[in-house]
Amino acid sequence: MTVPDTRQDAVHDDRTSELTRDFTRDWEQWHADHERALADPHGFLAVTSLRWLDAEPTRFSDAPGAWSSTEDGVSVELDEGEELVVDGVAVSGRHDFGVLAERTSVFAGAGEAVIEVAKRGGHDILRPRHPDHKLRLDYTHTPAYAPDPAWSLTGRYLPFDTPRAVTVEAAVEGLEHVYDAPGEVEFAGPDGGPHRLTVFHGGRSGSLLVLFTDATSGVTTYAANRAITVPAPDEEGRVVLDFNRATNLPCAYTDLATCPLPPAGNRLPFAVEAGERIPYERGGRR
Protein backbone atom coordinates (compact mmCIF):
# COMPACT_ATOMS: atom_id res chain seq x y z
CA MET A 1 0.00 0.00 0.00
CA THR A 2 1.37 3.41 -1.05
CA VAL A 3 1.05 6.17 1.51
CA PRO A 4 0.25 9.58 -0.04
CA ASP A 5 2.91 12.21 0.51
CA THR A 6 0.69 14.82 2.17
CA ARG A 7 3.66 17.09 2.83
CA GLN A 8 4.41 17.38 -0.89
CA ASP A 9 0.75 18.09 -1.62
CA ALA A 10 0.70 20.79 1.04
CA VAL A 11 3.79 22.46 -0.42
CA HIS A 12 2.19 22.39 -3.88
CA ASP A 13 -1.05 23.88 -2.53
CA ASP A 14 0.85 26.61 -0.72
CA ARG A 15 2.81 27.46 -3.86
CA THR A 16 -0.40 27.56 -5.93
CA SER A 17 -2.05 29.83 -3.37
CA GLU A 18 0.99 32.14 -3.37
CA LEU A 19 0.92 32.40 -7.17
CA THR A 20 -2.80 33.14 -7.10
CA ARG A 21 -2.29 35.85 -4.48
CA ASP A 22 0.50 37.40 -6.56
CA PHE A 23 -1.68 37.27 -9.68
CA THR A 24 -4.57 38.90 -7.83
CA ARG A 25 -2.34 41.60 -6.32
CA ASP A 26 -0.86 42.44 -9.74
CA TRP A 27 -4.34 42.63 -11.28
CA GLU A 28 -5.65 44.86 -8.48
CA GLN A 29 -2.74 47.28 -8.95
CA TRP A 30 -3.25 47.31 -12.72
CA HIS A 31 -6.99 47.93 -12.40
CA ALA A 32 -6.50 50.70 -9.82
CA ASP A 33 -4.12 52.45 -12.24
CA HIS A 34 -6.64 52.00 -15.06
CA GLU A 35 -9.43 53.47 -12.92
CA ARG A 36 -7.33 56.52 -12.02
CA ALA A 37 -6.60 57.18 -15.68
CA LEU A 38 -10.28 56.87 -16.57
CA ALA A 39 -11.29 59.37 -13.88
CA ASP A 40 -8.57 61.87 -14.81
CA PRO A 41 -9.82 65.49 -14.62
CA HIS A 42 -9.50 65.72 -18.40
CA GLY A 43 -10.25 62.10 -19.27
CA PHE A 44 -13.19 60.79 -21.27
CA LEU A 45 -15.59 61.08 -18.35
CA ALA A 46 -15.01 64.85 -18.52
CA VAL A 47 -16.13 65.18 -22.17
CA THR A 48 -19.20 67.45 -22.33
CA SER A 49 -19.98 67.36 -26.07
CA LEU A 50 -18.95 65.97 -29.43
CA ARG A 51 -18.94 68.63 -32.18
CA TRP A 52 -18.57 67.89 -35.88
CA LEU A 53 -16.86 70.84 -37.51
CA ASP A 54 -17.51 72.24 -40.98
CA ALA A 55 -16.63 75.35 -42.96
CA GLU A 56 -19.13 77.55 -41.09
CA PRO A 57 -17.51 79.15 -38.01
CA THR A 58 -19.63 78.02 -35.07
CA ARG A 59 -19.62 78.86 -31.37
CA PHE A 60 -20.38 76.26 -28.72
CA SER A 61 -21.53 76.73 -25.15
CA ASP A 62 -18.71 74.65 -23.65
CA ALA A 63 -15.73 76.05 -25.58
CA PRO A 64 -14.43 79.55 -26.30
CA GLY A 65 -14.23 80.82 -29.88
CA ALA A 66 -15.91 80.14 -33.22
CA TRP A 67 -14.63 76.89 -34.75
CA SER A 68 -14.44 75.77 -38.37
CA SER A 69 -12.88 73.09 -40.55
CA THR A 70 -11.82 73.46 -44.18
CA GLU A 71 -9.31 71.81 -46.49
CA ASP A 72 -6.68 73.93 -44.72
CA GLY A 73 -7.52 72.33 -41.37
CA VAL A 74 -9.14 73.47 -38.13
CA SER A 75 -9.29 77.14 -37.12
CA VAL A 76 -10.72 79.08 -34.22
CA GLU A 77 -11.62 82.79 -33.97
CA LEU A 78 -11.38 84.03 -30.39
CA ASP A 79 -13.25 87.16 -29.31
CA GLU A 80 -11.68 89.84 -27.18
CA GLY A 81 -11.19 88.48 -23.68
CA GLU A 82 -11.06 84.86 -24.89
CA GLU A 83 -7.87 82.83 -25.08
CA LEU A 84 -6.58 79.29 -25.38
CA VAL A 85 -3.28 77.84 -24.27
CA VAL A 86 -1.67 75.79 -27.05
CA ASP A 87 1.64 74.04 -26.38
CA GLY A 88 2.06 76.18 -23.29
CA VAL A 89 1.55 79.46 -25.15
CA ALA A 90 -1.50 81.70 -24.72
CA VAL A 91 -3.15 82.51 -28.05
CA SER A 92 -5.88 85.00 -28.92
CA GLY A 93 -7.60 86.21 -32.07
CA ARG A 94 -7.36 83.65 -34.87
CA HIS A 95 -5.47 80.41 -34.38
CA ASP A 96 -4.93 77.73 -37.02
CA PHE A 97 -4.42 74.17 -35.86
CA GLY A 98 -3.71 73.05 -39.42
CA VAL A 99 -4.57 69.75 -41.03
CA LEU A 100 -4.74 66.95 -38.48
CA ALA A 101 -3.76 63.38 -39.29
CA GLU A 102 -6.31 60.64 -38.78
CA ARG A 103 -6.62 59.46 -35.14
CA THR A 104 -4.54 62.35 -33.81
CA SER A 105 -5.65 64.81 -31.14
CA VAL A 106 -4.44 68.26 -30.10
CA PHE A 107 -5.34 69.64 -26.67
CA ALA A 108 -5.77 73.34 -25.88
CA GLY A 109 -6.27 74.71 -22.38
CA ALA A 110 -9.27 76.90 -21.63
CA GLY A 111 -9.22 77.80 -17.95
CA GLU A 112 -9.91 74.61 -15.99
CA ALA A 113 -11.10 72.87 -19.16
CA VAL A 114 -9.23 71.28 -22.03
CA ILE A 115 -10.49 71.43 -25.61
CA GLU A 116 -9.65 68.39 -27.72
CA VAL A 117 -9.30 69.01 -31.45
CA ALA A 118 -9.16 65.71 -33.33
CA LYS A 119 -9.75 63.85 -36.57
CA ARG A 120 -11.84 60.68 -36.53
CA GLY A 121 -13.06 58.79 -39.58
CA GLY A 122 -11.95 61.65 -41.83
CA HIS A 123 -13.93 64.26 -39.87
CA ASP A 124 -12.56 67.10 -37.74
CA ILE A 125 -14.19 67.13 -34.33
CA LEU A 126 -14.16 69.13 -31.12
CA ARG A 127 -14.52 67.53 -27.66
CA PRO A 128 -14.40 69.92 -24.70
CA ARG A 129 -13.38 68.28 -21.43
CA HIS A 130 -14.52 69.88 -18.17
CA PRO A 131 -13.37 68.44 -14.82
CA ASP A 132 -16.66 69.42 -13.16
CA HIS A 133 -18.74 67.39 -15.63
CA LYS A 134 -21.37 65.40 -13.71
CA LEU A 135 -20.45 62.08 -15.33
CA ARG A 136 -16.92 62.38 -13.98
CA LEU A 137 -17.89 63.72 -10.55
CA ASP A 138 -20.41 60.90 -10.03
CA TYR A 139 -18.04 58.16 -11.16
CA THR A 140 -17.03 55.63 -8.50
CA HIS A 141 -15.60 52.55 -10.20
CA THR A 142 -16.20 49.98 -12.92
CA PRO A 143 -17.43 46.53 -11.89
CA ALA A 144 -15.26 43.63 -12.98
CA TYR A 145 -15.05 39.88 -12.64
CA ALA A 146 -12.75 38.60 -9.91
CA PRO A 147 -9.28 37.92 -11.37
CA ASP A 148 -8.75 34.29 -12.31
CA PRO A 149 -5.41 32.93 -13.61
CA ALA A 150 -7.36 30.43 -15.74
CA TRP A 151 -8.31 33.33 -18.04
CA SER A 152 -4.68 34.21 -18.76
CA LEU A 153 -4.22 32.19 -21.95
CA THR A 154 -1.12 31.47 -24.00
CA GLY A 155 -1.47 31.90 -27.73
CA ARG A 156 0.55 32.31 -30.90
CA TYR A 157 1.02 35.40 -33.05
CA LEU A 158 0.51 34.79 -36.77
CA PRO A 159 1.81 37.82 -38.70
CA PHE A 160 0.50 38.58 -42.17
CA ASP A 161 3.02 38.82 -45.00
CA THR A 162 2.13 42.50 -45.16
CA PRO A 163 -0.26 44.49 -42.91
CA ARG A 164 -3.85 44.49 -44.08
CA ALA A 165 -6.08 47.57 -44.04
CA VAL A 166 -9.18 46.62 -42.05
CA THR A 167 -12.30 48.79 -42.03
CA VAL A 168 -14.39 48.63 -38.87
CA GLU A 169 -17.58 50.39 -37.85
CA ALA A 170 -17.66 52.86 -34.97
CA ALA A 171 -19.80 53.55 -31.93
CA VAL A 172 -21.10 56.59 -33.84
CA GLU A 173 -23.53 55.49 -36.54
CA GLY A 174 -22.25 56.10 -40.07
CA LEU A 175 -18.62 56.52 -39.01
CA GLU A 176 -15.89 54.09 -40.03
CA HIS A 177 -12.28 53.59 -38.99
CA VAL A 178 -9.50 52.02 -41.04
CA TYR A 179 -6.63 50.34 -39.20
CA ASP A 180 -3.62 48.35 -40.37
CA ALA A 181 -3.79 44.83 -38.98
CA PRO A 182 -0.35 43.22 -38.72
CA GLY A 183 -1.69 39.72 -38.11
CA GLU A 184 -3.80 37.43 -35.93
CA VAL A 185 -3.45 35.66 -32.62
CA GLU A 186 -4.48 32.04 -32.27
CA PHE A 187 -5.30 30.39 -28.96
CA ALA A 188 -7.29 27.54 -27.44
CA GLY A 189 -10.45 28.68 -25.69
CA PRO A 190 -12.19 26.98 -22.78
CA ASP A 191 -14.32 25.13 -25.32
CA GLY A 192 -11.15 23.36 -26.49
CA GLY A 193 -11.29 24.71 -30.02
CA PRO A 194 -8.72 26.95 -31.67
CA HIS A 195 -9.77 30.56 -32.18
CA ARG A 196 -8.21 33.40 -34.14
CA LEU A 197 -8.59 37.12 -33.58
CA THR A 198 -7.44 39.93 -35.85
CA VAL A 199 -5.10 42.28 -33.99
CA PHE A 200 -4.03 45.89 -34.42
CA HIS A 201 -0.91 47.68 -33.27
CA GLY A 202 -0.91 48.47 -29.55
CA GLY A 203 0.12 51.65 -27.84
CA ARG A 204 3.58 50.39 -26.86
CA SER A 205 6.31 49.20 -29.22
CA GLY A 206 5.63 45.65 -30.33
CA SER A 207 2.40 45.30 -28.37
CA LEU A 208 -0.88 44.29 -29.99
CA LEU A 209 -4.47 45.40 -29.47
CA VAL A 210 -7.43 43.03 -29.61
CA LEU A 211 -11.01 44.29 -29.96
CA PHE A 212 -13.57 41.58 -29.34
CA THR A 213 -17.02 40.56 -28.20
CA ASP A 214 -18.13 37.23 -26.72
CA ALA A 215 -21.17 35.45 -25.31
CA THR A 216 -21.29 37.81 -22.30
CA SER A 217 -21.53 40.92 -24.52
CA GLY A 218 -24.82 42.68 -23.87
CA VAL A 219 -25.49 40.40 -20.89
CA THR A 220 -22.87 41.08 -18.22
CA THR A 221 -20.32 42.96 -20.33
CA TYR A 222 -20.69 45.97 -22.61
CA ALA A 223 -22.40 44.96 -25.84
CA ALA A 224 -20.31 46.84 -28.41
CA ASN A 225 -16.74 45.91 -27.59
CA ARG A 226 -13.99 45.24 -25.10
CA ALA A 227 -10.24 45.50 -25.59
CA ILE A 228 -7.09 43.69 -24.48
CA THR A 229 -3.54 44.92 -24.86
CA VAL A 230 -1.27 41.96 -25.63
CA PRO A 231 2.44 42.32 -24.79
CA ALA A 232 4.88 41.89 -27.67
CA PRO A 233 5.30 38.29 -28.85
CA ASP A 234 8.42 36.46 -27.73
CA GLU A 235 11.05 35.14 -30.16
CA GLU A 236 8.92 32.08 -30.89
CA GLY A 237 5.77 34.11 -31.47
CA ARG A 238 4.11 33.21 -28.18
CA VAL A 239 1.74 35.73 -26.66
CA VAL A 240 -0.32 35.98 -23.49
CA LEU A 241 -3.97 36.98 -23.78
CA ASP A 242 -4.98 37.94 -20.26
CA PHE A 243 -8.74 38.36 -20.47
CA ASN A 244 -8.73 39.48 -16.84
CA ARG A 245 -7.41 42.75 -18.27
CA ALA A 246 -10.19 43.16 -20.82
CA THR A 247 -11.28 46.78 -20.54
CA ASN A 248 -14.21 48.87 -21.65
CA LEU A 249 -13.63 51.52 -24.28
CA PRO A 250 -14.85 55.10 -23.65
CA CYS A 251 -18.11 54.44 -25.55
CA ALA A 252 -19.10 52.13 -22.70
CA TYR A 253 -19.50 55.23 -20.52
CA THR A 254 -20.51 58.04 -22.86
CA ASP A 255 -22.19 58.56 -26.23
CA LEU A 256 -19.58 61.25 -26.98
CA ALA A 257 -16.94 58.70 -28.05
CA THR A 258 -16.10 57.45 -31.54
CA CYS A 259 -14.72 54.06 -30.50
CA PRO A 260 -14.03 51.40 -33.12
CA LEU A 261 -16.06 48.20 -33.09
CA PRO A 262 -14.34 44.80 -33.40
CA PRO A 263 -13.41 43.51 -36.84
CA ALA A 264 -15.66 40.93 -38.44
CA GLY A 265 -14.77 37.54 -36.99
CA ASN A 266 -13.63 38.86 -33.62
CA ARG A 267 -16.67 37.53 -31.78
CA LEU A 268 -15.83 34.61 -29.51
CA PRO A 269 -18.54 31.92 -29.25
CA PHE A 270 -17.99 31.30 -25.54
CA ALA A 271 -18.53 33.46 -22.45
CA VAL A 272 -15.43 35.37 -21.34
CA GLU A 273 -16.32 35.79 -17.68
CA ALA A 274 -13.27 37.91 -16.99
CA GLY A 275 -12.34 41.56 -17.16
CA GLU A 276 -14.52 44.64 -16.89
CA ARG A 277 -18.28 44.37 -16.85
CA ILE A 278 -21.07 46.75 -17.93
CA PRO A 279 -20.44 50.12 -16.25
CA TYR A 280 -22.97 51.32 -13.70
CA GLU A 281 -23.46 54.32 -15.98
CA ARG A 282 -24.95 51.91 -18.55
CA GLY A 283 -27.06 49.95 -16.10
CA GLY A 284 -24.46 47.51 -14.86
CA ARG A 285 -25.31 45.57 -11.72
CA ARG A 286 -23.59 46.06 -8.41
pLDDT digits (tens, 9 = 90+) for 136-157: 999 999 999 999 999 999 999 9
pLDDT the model gives residue 248 = 98
pLDDT the model gives residue 13 = 57
Give me the chain's average pLDDT, please: 94
pLDDT the model gives residue 140 = 94
Q: Quick one: average pLDDT of 177-190?
A: 96
Q: In this structure, what are the phi and psi dihedrals at residue 2, rounded to the nearest 5 degrees? A: -90, 130
48: confidence class by pLDDT, cuts 50, 70, 90 = very high
The answer, yes or no, to whether residue 286 has pLDDT greater than 80, is no
Do residues 117 and 108 lie in contact, with contact meaning Cβ atoms separated by under 8 Å? yes
The answer, yes or no, to whether residue 207 has pLDDT greater than 80, is yes
The answer, yes or no, to whether residue 97 has pLDDT greater than 70, is yes
Stated pTM of the model: 0.90
Do residues 132 and 114 lie in contact, with contact meaning Cβ atoms separated by under 8 Å? no
Q: Quick one: average pLDDT of 31-37?
A: 96
How far apart are the C-alpha atoms of 275 and 134, rounded to whole Å? 26
pLDDT the model gives residue 8 = 57
Q: How far is CA 49 from CA 4, 133, 224, 260, in A?
A: 67, 11, 21, 18
